[in-house]
């Protein structure tokens, strides 16, 4: 295990020195190629580092518990809207032939579920099991995005219901639209042509994949309890849809393990194959979430937390000082406040490390808590913030009372005098004076990155 960690640590140092080197391209094709390599390395590295394959196994079990309630509620809504048959056809189109038997069993249970006869308690039990299933998926996405707070119970009920409505609508709409296009006369004529027909046939095959990508984009933006950038969600949704389609296509073409499982399980062979399909599907979905997070970090030039060594106690103190000075400089010069993620990138630390420093400053009453967009700004006038308050907020100031712990009276008096002298000197200097003494911002790149 130690050798594996040493090997991974060496690989991380190589990636940090090459992919995240200080002289990396700032734009153009070189920047785009480097960004793709950064995202690819970080997503794969964190996928294995977070052991998401084990998380996919847990979600596979939870999915089995919540599959029937989810389909029961979705089909009830579909019947009310008049597209239950289309939804059934769309589901079967997304599954391979060996999985149709499993879906037949599941849909038989779903169709036998009488929502009116369940009563309040039965319906509540269905909804609770469904909320628990989706809540586990949200927890997995939150861990990837390093979000500690989850939705409230009320938001879980309301938000998860929208997932059950929108995702089936996207699947059914994609299947219906492209099936209708395939039956159109003009499209049939195009498919009869020599070269254009192959392109048209390929387009019709990729149409449902496109709608599946839209569903994944919605999932990656919606399930994490944080604001996910649209570009990162789109990239992850397209890649995940392609991977998912590729896995399905390979499974359909080769029917991996069908003969062997039939010899062992007989008529029950479809069940383990269905479990394998669920496991692989969740693995692909979780990798897509990790891909979106990696794209978000790399696109904002943030150093990945996994590649950084832990901060020393001294660096944790100076990090708070550096962060406060950048915020004060921009406030004094009338520049737009920077979000916390940009401050982390400028300081060369991970977002959670910058957030911890900002929390200490906020608790000391020096900066306002970051708003919804993560913008950081001073809470008080710079002239009313002393250097003593600042260094004490980060734990680097003179430690009053330390002299009282000494047994030697002479040394205690000397240490007490030193503490008082330091406190008086720092108390006479305001943060505004420190900013005026150094009119040059700590970095010249922050002004351009906010335009």
Tokens of 443: 């970095």
DSSP-derived letter for residue 99 is G
Residue 274 to residue 103: CA distance in whole angstroms:
9
Q: Angle at the Cα of 156 (from 155 to 161), degrees rounded to 5?
A: 100
Tokens of 205: 């095959």
Contact between residue 330 and residue 375 where contact means Cβ atoms under 8 Å apart = no
Q: Could you count the other beta carbons within 10 Å of the beta carbon of residue 268?
A: 12
- Model confidence at 386, in pLDDT bands (50, 70, 90)? confident
Report percent pLDDT > 70 for the chain: 59
How many angstroms separate the first and last alpha carbons of the chain? 47
What's the pLDDT at 451?
34
What's the pLDDT at 265?
56
- Model confidence at 445, in pLDDT bands (50, 70, 90)? very low
- Model confidence at 341, in pLDDT bands (50, 70, 90)? confident
What's the pLDDT at 239?
95
Tell me how far CA of residue 384 lies from CA of 366, 376, 389, in angstroms: 10, 18, 10
Question: Can you state the angle between helices 195-222 and 230-254, rounded to 10 degrees?
Answer: 120
State whether residue 250 is helix, strand or coil: helix
Q: Which of 217, 212, 244 is nearest to 231 (CA)?
A: 217
| pLDDT (tens digit per residue) in 187-226 | 555 555 556 656 656 666 666 778 888 889 988 998 888 8
Taking residues 141-160, what's their average pLDDT?
Answer: 82
The torsion angles phi and psi of 177, rounded to 5 degrees, stand at -65, -50
Contact between residue 196 and residue 213 where contact means Cβ atoms under 8 Å apart = no
What's the pLDDT at 205?
65
DSSP-derived letter for residue 84 is H
State whether residue 418 is helix, strand or coil: helix
Residue 266 to residue 280: CA distance in whole angstroms:
23
Question: Has residue 379 got a pLDDT over 80?
Answer: yes
Stated pTM of the model: 0.68
DSSP-derived letter for residue 4 is H
Q: Which domains does the chain have, with CATH numbers?
A: 42-299 (no CATH), 310-449 (1.10.10.10)
State whether residue 375 is helix, strand or coil: strand
Most confident of 2-16, 228-242, 313-327: 228-242
What's the pLDDT at 288?
95
Q: Could you count the other beta carbons within 10 Å of the beta carbon of residue 19?
A: 19
Tokens of 270: 């479809």
Residue 217 to residue 219: CA distance in whole angstroms:
5
Question: Has residue 13 got a pLDDT over 80?
Answer: no
The torsion angles phi and psi of 386, rounded to 5 degrees, stand at -90, 155
**In terms of pLDDT, which residue wins out, 398 or 218?**
218
What's the pLDDT at 7?
64
**Mean pLDDT estimate for the chain:** 74
Residue 396 to residue 381: CA distance in whole angstroms:
22
**In terms of pLDDT, which residue wins out, 391 or 181?**
391
Least confident of 240-249, 260-269, 432-441: 260-269
Question: Has residue 178 got a pLDDT over 70?
Answer: no
Question: Has residue 423 got a pLDDT over 70?
Answer: yes
| pLDDT (tens digit per residue) in 57-85 | 988 888 777 666 666 666 665 665 555 56
**In terms of pLDDT, which residue wins out, 56 or 266?**
56
What's the pLDDT at 61?
84
Question: Has residue 39 got a pLDDT over 80?
Answer: yes
């Amino acid at each position: 295990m130690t050798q594996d960690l040493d090997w991974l640590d060496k690989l991380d140092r190589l990636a940090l020195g090459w992919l995240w080197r200080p002289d990396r391209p700032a734009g153009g094709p070189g920047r785009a190629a480097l960004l793709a390599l950064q995202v690819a390395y970080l997503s794969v590295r964190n996928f294995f580092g977070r052991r998401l394959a084990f998380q996919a196994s847990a979600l596979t079990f939870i999915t089995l518990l919540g599959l029937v309630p989810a389909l029961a509620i979705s089909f009830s809504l579909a019947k009310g809207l008049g597209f239950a048959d289309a939804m059934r056809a769309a589901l079967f189109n997304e599954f391979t032939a060996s999985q149709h038997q499993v879906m037949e069993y599941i849909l038989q249970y779903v169709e036998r579920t009488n929502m009116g006869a369940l009563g309040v308690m039965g319906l509540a039990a269905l909804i609770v099991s469904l909320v628990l299933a989706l809540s586990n998926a949200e927890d997995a996405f939150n861990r990837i995005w390093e979000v500690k707070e989850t939705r409230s119970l009320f938001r879980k009920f309301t938000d998860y219901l929208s997932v059950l409505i929108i995702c089936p609508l996207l699947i059914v709409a994609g299947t219906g639209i492209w099936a209708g296009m395939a039956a159109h006369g003009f499209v049939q004529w195009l498919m009869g042509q020599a070269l254009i027909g192959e392109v048209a046939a390929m387009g019709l095959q990729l149409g449902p994949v496109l709608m599946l990508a839209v569903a994944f984009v919605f999932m990656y933006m919606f399930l994490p309890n944080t604001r996910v950038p649209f570009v990162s969600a789109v990239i992850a949704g397209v890649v995940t849809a392609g991977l998912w389609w590729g896995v399905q296509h390979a499974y359909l073409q080769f029917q991996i393990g069908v003969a062997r499982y039939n010899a062992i399980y007989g008529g029950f062979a479809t069940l383990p194959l269905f479990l394998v399909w669920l496991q692989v599907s969740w693995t692909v979905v979780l990798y897509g979430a990790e891909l979106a997070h990696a794209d978000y970090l790399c696109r904002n030039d943030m150093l990945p937390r996994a590649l950084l060594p832990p901060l020393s106690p001294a660096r944790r103190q100076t990090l708070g000082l550096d962060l406060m000075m950048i915020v004060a400089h921009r406030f004094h010069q009338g520049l737009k406040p920077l979000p916390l993620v940009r401050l982390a990138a400028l300081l060369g630390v991970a977002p959670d490390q910058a957030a911890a420093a900002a929390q200490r400053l906020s608790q000391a009453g020096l900066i306002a808590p970051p708003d919804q967009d993560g913008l950081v700004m001073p809470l008080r006038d710079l002239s009313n913030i002393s250097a003593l308050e600042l260094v004490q907020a980060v734990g680097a100031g003179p430690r009053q009372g330390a002299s009282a712990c000494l047994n030697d009276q002479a040394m205690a008096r000397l240490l007490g005098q030193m503490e008082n002298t330091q406190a008086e000197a720092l108390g006479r200097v305001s943060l505004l004076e420190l900013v005026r003494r150094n009119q040059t911002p700590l970095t010249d790149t922050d002004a351009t990155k906010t335009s």
